[in-house]
């Protein structure tokens, strides 16, 4: 009898707490309706209620993380651009941080990169429009425009007191994800610059590696992932697999079983165990962090440079009934060690910070690359 009584009380408590939670939710929905009504009646200016509700929806999504966002039907239609390596704009990957638009990375050889925009810069003004208070998608929309037109960006940069002004000409951005060459005086180091993880990056990358293998002098490789904003997970897995004989590359964990997976390396190291130095910086994000983190965890490469960005999550674009859409985080990446990349990034084995205001990747002033070359020749 006592057992039956205990079970009955437990079930009652379960249903009671569930009904309390539901009541709280309904009360909050009623409160939201009351706030909207008060704004409509008493606010000093007329307010477009549709825009206000859109802002509220976006506020809910952005309270989750910097990458989730709402797109109105108009914005959703505009954002449906080609994702296969060519798009219009300035050539920067951006995200949100504490309500401010932050540059994740400028893409090599694009207008933004050539103008001097850097990873970690904060965009405070687009033209005459203040960015504070705008959504990420609204900021993207403001930066897009007809090819050949100019746009003024006002930037705040760490350790620089005054805001910086840039005038940038919009262009069609073609991302050629892989470039390679032999570096060092002895012509014995293969250098591969991987700018993004697009749909053909793995085949381009492997082609470069096979070309280097024909040179008997090659004693190691530098793989440059600086300012690489990421891209396709499958490409990160394929390219990492080139250098591992076995073991886990990355796992993803989400609420759905379909989003919780582990990916493993297949047998075969394309460079036969030769040493690798991987260059990263604050603009190395997402797929670039998977590559660097996996090789670090397997002690297959030395990671050199600065801490990476810390974007360790997967977003899905979900269409909505009103013709709009939302960008929603559905899973997170985890390295072979079990660590999450989110908001932490990958820490280099050797910390080498950029030196000088005239620093440019892959030039004589590139102190990080010069340090990597010394490692092979020391």
Task: Provide the annotated active-site residues.
Answer: 286, 297, 311
Q: Where are the alpha helices (H) located in the chain, listed in sequence order?
A: 2-42, 49-62, 73-78, 111-115, 136-143, 201-213, 233-241, 287-297, 367-377
Q: Contact, 148 vs 59, CB < 8 A? A: no
Residue 197 DSSP class: B
The distance from CA 296 to its chain's CA centroid, rounded to whole angstroms, is 19
Q: Pick left, alpha or beta for residue 109 (phi over 0 → left; psi -120 to 50 → alpha; otherwise beta).
A: left
β-strands 220-224, 189-194 pairing: parallel
Residue with tokens 């002004």, as numbered in its chain: 165
Neighbour count for residue 259 (Cβ, 10 Å) = 14
Q: Contact, 197 vs 226, CB < 8 A? A: no
Please name the residues in contact with 349: beta carbons below 8 A apart, sequence gap of 6 or more. Answer: 296, 302, 303, 304
Residue 333 and residue 47: Cα distance in Å, rounded?
A: 41
Residue 146 and residue 152: Cα distance in Å, rounded?
A: 14
Structure tokens at 80: 């449906």
Structure tokens at 371: 């340090």
Q: At what angle do helices 287-297 and 233-241 cross, to 10 degrees?
A: 30
Residue 265 DSSP class: P
Residue 340 DSSP class: B
Residue 317 and residue 327: Cα distance in Å, rounded?
A: 5
């Amino acid at each position: 009898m006592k057992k039956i009584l205990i079970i009955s009380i437990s079930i009652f408590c379960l249903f009671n707490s569930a009904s309390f939670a539901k009541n709280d939710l309904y009360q909050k929905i009623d409160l939201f309706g009351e706030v909207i009504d008060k704004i409509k009646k008493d606010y000093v200016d007329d307010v477009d209620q549709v825009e206000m509700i859109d802002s509220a929806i976006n506020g809910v999504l952005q309270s989750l993380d910097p990458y989730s966002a709402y797109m109105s039907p108009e914005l959703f239609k505009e954002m449906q651009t080609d994702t296969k390596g060519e798009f219009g704009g300035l050539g920067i990957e951006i995200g949100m941080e504490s309500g401010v638009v932050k540059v994740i990375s400028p893409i090599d050889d694009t207008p933004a990169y050539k103008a001097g925009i850097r990873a970690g810069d904060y965009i405070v003004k687009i033209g005459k429009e203040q960015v504070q208070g705008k959504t990420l998608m609204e900021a993207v929309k403001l930066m897009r425009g007809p090819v050949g037109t100019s746009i003024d960006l006002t930037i705040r940069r760490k350790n620089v007191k005054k805001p910086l002004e840039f005038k940038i000409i919009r262009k069609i951005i073609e991302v050629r994800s892989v470039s390679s060459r032999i570096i060092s005086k002895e012509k014995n180091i293969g250098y591969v610059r991987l700018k993004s993880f697009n749909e053909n990056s793995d085949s381009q990358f492997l082609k470069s590696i096979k070309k280097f293998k024909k040179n008997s002098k090659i004693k190691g490789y530098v793989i440059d992932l600086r300012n690489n904003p990421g891209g396709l997970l499958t490409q990160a897995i394929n390219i990492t697999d080139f250098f591992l004989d076995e073991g886990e590359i990355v796992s993803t964990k989400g609420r759905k079983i379909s989003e919780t997976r582990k990916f493993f390396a297949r047998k075969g190291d394309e460079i036969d165990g030769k040493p690798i130095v991987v260059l990263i910086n604050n603009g190395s994000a997402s797929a670039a962090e998977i590559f660097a983190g996996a090789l670090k965890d397997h002690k297959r490469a030395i990671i050199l440079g600065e801490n990476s960005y810390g974007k360790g999550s997967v977003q899905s674009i979900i269409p909505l009934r009103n013709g709009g859409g939302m960008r929603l985080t559905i899973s997170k990446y985890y390295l072979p060690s079990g660590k999450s990349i989110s908001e932490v990034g990958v820490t280099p084995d050797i910390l080498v910070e950029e030196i000088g205001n005239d620093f440019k990747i892959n030039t004589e002033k590139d102190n990080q690359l010069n340090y990597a070359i010394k490692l092979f020749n020391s």
